[in-house]
Structure 1
Amino acid sequence: MPVDFKDYYQTLGVKKDATADEIKKAFRALARVHHPDKAKPDDRPAAEAKFKEISEAYDVLGDAEKRTKYDQLGANWNQYGSAGPGQRGGYRRAGGGPQDYDFHFGGTGFSDFFEQFFSGGGGGFDPYGGAGRQRAPARGQDMEAEIMVPLNEAYSGAERTIRLERVNSQTGERQENSYKVRIPAGVKNGQRIRLSGQGERGASAVSGDLYLRVRLAAHPDYQVQDADLIYTLELPAWDAALGASKEIPLPDSKRVRITVPAGARTGSRVRLRGLGLPKKDGKGDIFVEYAVYAPDPQTDEVRQLWEKLRETAE
């Protein structure tokens, strides 16, 4: 099955020689516009799809190693329109059972293109190792796929539906199953969610398991550090100098108001205890980090005010 090439540079609206900062800036701008929380209820499905597309592009271009691999692939992408040897476009292969099946995942948040060329799962996954298969050869092989989890789902928990299509490579017979997957609040990047008995079928009645490896989607405003969240608050110079009252949007769409003290400097922080991601012994914290900037003087009047301030300060 052919795999459609994804032009991630076009998705983010940047040139192929864009710097890492330009790529990050483009992602943040687009993610803020298309974030599902800002969409009307009727427009939310389209916003979620667009946000996942943007997040996938940034996942690749925002990572130096993936970007290099993508650039090398992109020059000859049409050679991979039908997947390479041993792969079928959009499918994950899991051998070792009584029949040879291909697997296609839907609802994980990633495109077929990403899953085939950039996913860490690959063709099946067996946490028991070769020794385990020797002890229980009739057991089906375990499988693994990656699932994109937005920060709001990691923050509050969610339920997702994924689809798994099995295709018998000998007969062409297809079977599709849907599964409800619970995303636990506080889920970590790289954590695996287990769907017992939903992997490859074995020679006996014992099937392997399906593991979904969590990949937290990048957020335009928050960074994740274990259970803590770092929020960058951009402050115009006058708010930093005089102090201000600001609202901070939480990942669950609620808001909290903070007081910025006079004389705030770039890099200084305020701590919001217990508002981070859930963890075993409670919740992490949110750290609001100030980023002070001086807006460009757009009018003569504003420029004169800045000049007067400089003269006064000197």
Structure 2
Amino acid sequence: MSVEFRDYYEILGVPRDADEAAIKKAFRKLARVHHPDVASDKAGAEEKFKEINEAYEVLGDPEKRKRYDTLGASWNQPGGMPPDSGGWGGGAPGEGFEFEFGGTGFSDFFERYFGGGMGGGGFARGGGSFRGAAGPSRGQDIEGDLMVTLPEAMTGSVRTISLRRMDPRTGQTSLEEVQVRIPAGIREGQRLRVPGHGAAGSGGGGAGDLYLRVRLAADPDFRVRGHDLYLDLALAPWDAVLGTTAAIRLPGGKSVQLKVPAGSRTGDQLRLKGYGLPKKAAPGDLYVVLAIDAPPRVTHEERELWERLREVSKFQPGKG
């Protein structure tokens, strides 16, 4: 099955020699514009958001970026197909079948070169007992990656996954669709098992299973640690000194009011209990990490006020 090359630099709008900071900045800018929480066209934004995430998944990782940059001379030819890297190839070992996924959030290009499996999204992992040429044998298991956005991880969702199989010996293809339930509170690295949707068995043996490994999409604002979420909040100096109330946007688009106490400092963490990822015992928490942000420019009047404050203040940095 042909796999179309993806130009991740073009997707993020950065040059090939962009440094890590420029790549991260470009990702966050684009991700905020196309985030499903804020975009009017939810379906279109979700696809674009996942495309941006895929590009950042590769270019934001030094090892994956190096592998991407050395795929071959055709890397910058849109629609071209780079040569296989490191002997990676399509299909399930010993079966000759190739697999392509749809609806996982990752392109076949990503799955072939950077995913958890091999061969356009399908990878046979061990599977079943073999009883000789005449006996029944269980089909191989197939594994692929599944991109899950933070809102999906918060509330759970159902995803339609398509699986196309091709037997290169006959040229015949088959397409099946399966509904995959993504439970609320799912975490990075978890595997979802879809029984009986792996490679077909032989000699009367049962089919293998399909396993989808969860890859949480990078969010431009939130960081995920276990079931807890972390969010940076920039504060004006006067709000840090005097205290304030800030509206905190939650995954999914809703917001909650957070009281910032007077005398807050950079690095302080304010806990919003129960606003993290769901889990059986109790949901995780949301930690808001404070950072004081000074204005880059001030008016003449503002400068006079700051100078007056410096004259009258008895505060000594580093001494509380």
Greater helix proportion: 1
Amino acid at match of 1:295: P
Using a 3 Å threshold, how does the CA distance of structure 1 residues 172 and 265 change in structure 2: closer, same or farther?
A: same
Structure 1 residue 121 displacement after superposition: 1.6
Structure 1 residue 2 displacement after superposition: 3.9
- Secondary structure in structure 2 of the residue aligned to 1:231: strand
1:69 to 44, 67, 70: 67
TM-score by length of 2: 0.86
- After TM superposition, list the pairs within 5 Å mapping 1:156-175 onto structure 2: 156-175=155-174
Which residue in 1 is equivalent to 2:55? 57
- Secondary structure in structure 2 of the residue aligned to 1:282: coil
Assess if the C-alpha contact under 8 Å between 1:87 and 1:93 holds in 2.
Answer: no
Amino acid at match of 1:111: S
- After TM superposition, list the pairs within 5 Å mapping 1:122-271 onto structure 2: 122-123=118-119, 124-126=123-125, 128=127, 132-134=128-130, 138-203=137-202, 204-271=204-271
Using a 3 Å threshold, how does the CA distance of structure 1 residues 13 and 66 change in structure 2: closer, same or farther?
A: same
Using a 3 Å threshold, how does the CA distance of structure 1 residues 110 and 247 change in structure 2: closer, same or farther?
A: same
- C-alpha distance in 2 between matches for 1:295 and 1:74: 47
Assess if the C-alpha contact under 8 Å between 2:136 and 2:205 holds in 1.
Answer: no
Assess if the C-alpha contact under 8 Å between 1:297 and 1:303 holds in 2.
Answer: no
Q: Please give the per-residue CA displacement for 1:166-224, whole angstroms capped at 9, x wherever unaligned.
A: 11211211111111110011111111001100000010251000000000000111111
Q: Are residues 1:113 and 2:112 paired?
A: no
Structure 1 residue 75 displacement after superposition: 5.4
RMSD value over aligned CA atoms?
2.4
User: Mind listing any 5+ residue stretches in structure 2 that lack a counterpart?
Assistant: 315-320
My pick for the range that moved more, 29-38 or 134-143, is 134-143
Amino acid at match of 1:252: G
My pick for the range that moved more, 232-241 or 212-221, is 232-241
My pick for the range that moved more, 301-310 or 58-67, is 301-310
- C-alpha distance in 2 between matches for 1:107 and 1:32: 22
- C-alpha distance in 2 between matches for 1:29 and 1:78: 24
- C-alpha distance in 2 between matches for 1:306 and 1:73: 56
- C-alpha distance in 1 between matches for 2:249 and 2:273: 15
- Aligned pair count? 304
Q: Are residues 1:3 and 2:3 paired?
A: yes
Q: Please give the per-residue CA displacement for 1:217-247, whole angstroms capped at 9, x wherever unaligned.
A: 0011111111111111122223222211111
User: Mind listing any 5+ residue stretches in structure 1 that lack a counterpart?
Assistant: none
- Secondary structure in structure 2 of the residue aligned to 1:105: strand
Q: Please give the per-residue CA displacement for 1:132-170, whole angstroms capped at 9, x wherever unaligned.
A: 434686100000010100011011100111110111211
- C-alpha distance in 1 between matches for 2:275 and 2:255: 11
- C-alpha distance in 2 between matches for 1:311 and 1:11: 52
Using a 3 Å threshold, how does the CA distance of structure 1 residues 117 and 305 change in structure 2: closer, same or farther?
A: farther
TM-score by length of 1: 0.88
Amino acid at match of 2:191: R
Which residue in 2 is equivalent to 1:101? 97
Structure 1 residue 23 displacement after superposition: 2.0
Using a 3 Å threshold, how does the CA distance of structure 1 residues 306 and 76 change in structure 2: closer, same or farther?
A: farther
Structure 1 residue 18 displacement after superposition: 2.7
Assess if the C-alpha contact under 8 Å between 1:3 and 1:82 holds in 2.
Answer: no
Assess if the C-alpha contact under 8 Å between 1:125 and 1:141 holds in 2.
Answer: yes
Which residue in 1 is equivalent to 2:291? 291
My pick for the range that moved more, 179-188 or 3-12, is 3-12
Which residue in 1 is equivalent to 2:39? 39
- C-alpha distance in 1 between matches for 2:59 and 2:82: 23
